[in-house]
Amino acid sequence: MAVKEKGLHAMSEPDGKYANYFDIGVNAHELVIDFGQFYGRGGQPTVHTRIVTTPAYARELLGLLARSIIGQDLPAADAAVGTSPAGPPKDTP
């Protein structure tokens, strides 16, 4: 997505970085999301980006992600999913 398409202003075009590793920390005042790369086989994830936001904006992000994914014909998860040190993704009720 180009920044100009949404009418947003940025000092420069943002860098795009691939992420297949995610970690989230949360307290009453903020939510911290780490993005990185992890390839298993005993290695450690490499975190390259950290986003810190409030719970209210995290809910906005959740809604945006949900609206972007629902209805899309996405391929099945590949074998790499669930290999983070935290274990496989947990199902939510």
Instruction: Write out the two tokens for 43.
Output: 């290695």
Of the candidates 18, 69, 55, the residue with the CA atom closest to the CA atom of residue 39: 18
What is the spatial distance between Cα 63 and Cα 45, in angstroms, rounded to a whole number? 27
Domain boundaries, position 61 = 17-69
- pTM over 0.85? The answer is no
In a domain, 90, yes or no: no
10 within domain boundaries: no
Q: Please check whether residue 41 lies inside any domain of the structure.
A: yes
- Domain membership of residue 11 (yes or no) is no
What does the pLDDT profile of the chain (93 residues) look like in tens digits? 444 555 667 678 888 999 999 999 999 999 999 999 999 888 899 999 999 999 999 999 999 999 888 877 766 665 455 544 454 444 433
At 44, list the tokens: 């450690």
